[in-house]
Amino acid sequence: MKRKIVMIAFILLGMGMTASAQFGKKINLGKALQAGKDVVAAVTLSDADIANMSKEYMAWMDTHNPLTKPDTEYGKRLERLTGHIKEVDGLKLNFGVYEVIDVNAFACGDGSVRICAGLMDVMTDEEVMAVVGHEIGHVVHTDSKDAMKNAYLRSAVKNAAGAANEKVAKLTDSELGAMAEALAGAQFSQKQENEADDYGVEFCVKNGIDPYAMANALSKLAELAKDAPKASYAQRMFSSHPDTQKRIERTKAKADSYAKK
């Protein structure tokens, strides 16, 4: 049975990465330093620091969310869709499905791509792959890396959590929870979303998938948000992204350019 996690987000409509029900617990950080020093440490994070954070974060996410097994319906579908995709632009990829009801997906800077079962339930194979392409686009364009850095910055400012001697130490469970909370509240810019949409269309073309799948996925997510209760998280999120229709039209136009070739 798929489990529910606290925050239901629609990544393609502009939200950042989500985490598990750990959001509800009190954060108690142990490596507290002066907030000013924490900010400096966050700003000067190296690519290696962020890469290590990404690995730690994904290990935390995979521990706190139920990963489907390869012999399940979701596992077999995932292998059929993504089994031939080993790397993109030199980045080695690994895929997984969280057995949760959220209509969501995200990719992390370490090459991890996670899809929620709820998204697979409502989307066709081609739409799922368009979403995967979109999320990989965020990684290729370093959006995910920047989001990770900013999440560390926000959690450091909020909790005065830093690294002694200006070196980033291994994150504790509580600190990873704070990072997840910060990432869940992150939003990509319209420019970043447009670029990821374009990458999603191109990803579809390169993999022999209908180029209109990106627009179809966006349209489906917009409809889901539109039909959600007014007080729901989905409805509030959708109302804050009025340019979604423009993104749908952009991706259709881009797909048209490929269809005419």
Residues annotated as catalytic (active site), given as ranges: 135
Q: How far apart are CA 55 and CA 64, in angstroms?
A: 14
Handedness of CA 136, 116, 250, 142 (dihedral sign): negative
Type of residue found at 142: T
**What token pair was written down for 164?**
């002694």
Answer for the pair 11, 104: CB distance below 8 angstroms, yes or no.
Answer: yes
Scan for tokens 């750990």, then name that residue. Answer: 22
Scan for tokens 């990989």, then name that residue. Answer: 136
Q: How far apart are CA 84 and CA 123, in angstroms?
A: 20
What angle (nearest 5°) sits at the alpha carbon of residue 45, between those of residues 44 and 47?
130
**What token pair was written down for 9?**
């987000």
Q: How far apart are CA 256 and CA 260, in angstroms?
A: 6
How far does Cα 261 stand from its chain's mean position?
Answer: 32
Q: How many CB atoms lie within 10 A of CB 245?
A: 12
